[in-house]
Chain A
Amino acid sequence: MGSASSVLTQYDIEEVQEHCSNLFSQQEIVSLYQRFCQLDRNAKGFISADEFLSVPEFAMNPLSQRLLKMVDGLNFKDFVAFLSAFSGKATTQQKIEFIFKVYDSDNNGKVSFNDILEVLRDLSGSFMSDEQREKVLRQVLQEAGYSKESYLMLDDFIKIQYVLSHDFLNCSLYCLFKKSVNYIDAKVGSQLGSFQVGTKNGG
């Protein structure tokens, strides 16, 4: 890990920077490379799904399977491009594009009723029935002027102009790295049955 920078030449860094539309500084790319090498245990050049899932905080995330499909087997350049939506320099449009990509799992450029339903299923798990999910979705779509048969395009997403969470809009690599430096002093740990809790300091 200490020798990561020596493996990445200036030319490599610039190539990666270009690929992610200059959304990351060179220092950030070097840090990302160190992280990439840390996750890619046998230096294959990509991170396997299993290695992603070995990060407990990621495995616990409801959208982990969906994100895994997008990020599994990417080489470093594409890995950085994937994460570029989380850069501090990314525009709101770029962030919304990323969210659109997460919804549009079959990559056909449009998000259908079922696509949204799938994501809802990931987020709500067994705590909402399929009927409840459909009912909620149909209702809000109707109120926004869409129907069950409508397909949402990227423009629709932008138009809907939802209020992105403060974290997402202002997050930068620095914040995401920094959070784990002051890890919390869990004064009293707890185990509800056998599950473990992962936490982070609010930036």
Chain B
Amino acid sequence: MNSSSEIQNQKLSSQLDLDLDFEFDQPSGKLRLRDLLDISPTLTEASGAIIDDSFTRCFKSNPPETWNWNVYLFPLWCLGVVIRYFFLFPARVLILTIGWMIFLSSYIPVHFLLKGHDKLRKKFERYLVELICSFFVASWTGVVKYHGPRPSRRPKQVFVANHTSMIDFIILEQMTAFAVIMQKHPGWVGLLQSTILESVGCIWFNRTEVKDREILTKKLRDHVQGAENNPLLIFPEGTCVNNNYTVMFKKGGAFELDCTVCPIAIKYNKIFVDAFWNSRKQSFTKHLLRLMTSWAVVCDVWYLEPQNIKPGETAIEFAERVRDIISVRAGLKKVPWDGLLKYSRPSPKHRELKQQSFSESMLRRLEEK
């Protein structure tokens, strides 16, 4: 039983440590009409996918359970709404405005006046970015607990974290000024990206441009080599996931740069608000407003032990190993899907594998007497 597709399956199965059930559980014996007409395994798989699939689950918002369904709880909840929208929210907006004023009044002078003294200017800018991020976090009453040793500035290291929302970046940035690699967004976010984040050394990419990849890899490599640059932060999932699951990490980028990878695990506590940014359902502004009108955003951040690629390990295996470390730490379930399937269809290669297996089985059994 050694057709090439079976060998491929076995390799795949052993690597993934699971049993892939393919269409025909290797039935043998002469091919009869009944076998040819029996498409039930394929149909079962298709219906299984229609009824429930793990990919869609990753992007489902799971809001915390409502508790205001009672005669005395409901007025309490109403009171809470009043406090949140009419007291907390304006106070937070005020804090944020003050923060921005302080930031802009310090940043602009520093940026222009210290043009010549690069090192000093960068130091100030770094501090100011950390400051404005702290203001942001305060504006949604972020209760963030950091565990583990704080990131240090060294060359040849890259930080990776799981991704739930754009606020991941802000939460991490308030502790250490990272340079991040991000998708360029439209609107006011894009404006912020091109002005302020440029100064910490952020790198932009366009998801839809495939040729971008090589230029990107080169940029990343250059950044990592420079000792003066801010530590690089990458979100290898490539998209926002709902903080109950992790999708597959992209091997390109973080794991192929020949440097140490330091994993960071972020877990949000849904007790007051669900921090997952469902980019299909709401804009970032709405998402921020939702955070600012809730009681608090509670999360834990773990800085985990730096990892190096082991000899004989491929980049993909390395990426999966790091994903395992992060998922275990943050209590997330792993799912074997590529996050970018949110925007595109799966490659035809998997379907072709099934077709190949079917064809080989048919032809083989036809020969049997």
Given contacts A177-B51, A183-B54, contact A194 B39 (CB under 8 A): no
Given contacts A183-B334, A192-B12, contact A61 B49 (CB under 8 A): yes
Q: Do the beta carbons of B338 and A157 come within 8 Å of each other?
A: no
Q: How far is the CA of A202 from the CA of B39 in the complex (A)?
A: 18
Scan B21-34; emit 1 where CB is below 8 A from any A CB, else 0: 10101000001111
* Number of A residues with CB within 8 Å of any CB on chain B: 82
Q: Which residue of A lies closest to B35 (CB)?
A: A162
Indicate whether B251 reaches chain A with its CB closer than 8 angstroms: yes
Q: Which residue of A lies closest to B66 (CB)?
A: A2
Q: Do the beta carbons of B32 and A143 come within 8 Å of each other?
A: yes
Indicate whether A124 reaches chain B with its CB closer than 8 angstroms: yes
Given contacts A195-B350, A197-B350, contact A186 B336 (CB under 8 A): yes
Q: Which residue of A lies closest to B345 (CB)?
A: A59
Indicate whether A76 reaches chain B with its CB closer than 8 angstroms: no
Q: Which residue of B lies closest to A190 (CB)?
A: B15
Indicate whether B324 reaches chain A with its CB closer than 8 angstroms: yes
Indicate whether B118 reaches chain A with its CB closer than 8 angstroms: no
Q: Which of B42, B66, B323, B342 has a CB less than 8 Å from the CB of A62? A: B42
Q: Which residues of A contact B215 (CB under 8 A)?
A: none
Count how many pairs of residues, one from A and one from B, have CB atoms less than 8 Å apart in the complex.
256
Q: Do the beta carbons of A124 and B49 come within 8 Å of each other?
A: no
Given contacts A144-B33, A168-B41, A185-B334, contact A200 B48 (CB under 8 A): yes
Q: How far is the CA of A141 from the CA of B33 in the complex (A)?
A: 6
Q: How far is the CA of A193 from the CA of B25 in the complex (A)?
A: 26
Highest count of chain B CB atoms <10 Å: which of A83, A143, A146, A188 = A188
Q: How far is the CA of A124 from the CA of B341 in the complex (A)?
A: 24
* Number of B residues with CB within 8 Å of any CB on chain A: 77
Q: Do the beta carbons of B349 and A194 come within 8 Å of each other?
A: yes
Q: Which residues of B contact A200 (CB under 8 A)?
A: 21, 48
Indicate whether A8 reaches chain B with its CB closer than 8 angstroms: no
Q: Which of A32, A41, A60, A164 has a CB less than 8 Å from the CB of B40? A: A164
Q: Which residue of A lies closest to B18 (CB)?
A: A184
Q: Which residues of B contact A32 (CB under 8 A)?
A: 51
Q: Which residues of A contact B6 (CB under 8 A)?
A: none
Q: Which residues of A contact B251 (CB under 8 A)?
A: 191
45-70 of chain A: CB within 8 A of chain B:
52-64, 67
Q: Do the beta carbons of B41 and A136 come within 8 Å of each other?
A: no
Indicate whether B47 reaches chain A with its CB closer than 8 angstroms: yes
Indicate whether A19 reaches chain B with its CB closer than 8 angstroms: no
Q: Give 5 A-B pairs besides A161-B34, A183-B333 with Cβ atoms closer than 8 angstroms.
A: A35-B52, A140-B33, A184-B336, A196-B248, A196-B337
Chain A interface (Cβ < 8 Å from any Cβ of B): 1-2, 32, 35, 38-39, 41, 52-64, 67, 71, 83, 86, 95, 98-99, 102-103, 116, 119-120, 123-128, 132, 136-137, 139-141, 143-144, 146, 157, 160-165, 167-168, 171, 173, 176-177, 179-180, 183-202
**Interchain residue pairs A-B with the least CB separation, the first 6:** A162-B34, A125-B355, A195-B349, A168-B40, A127-B359, A57-B49
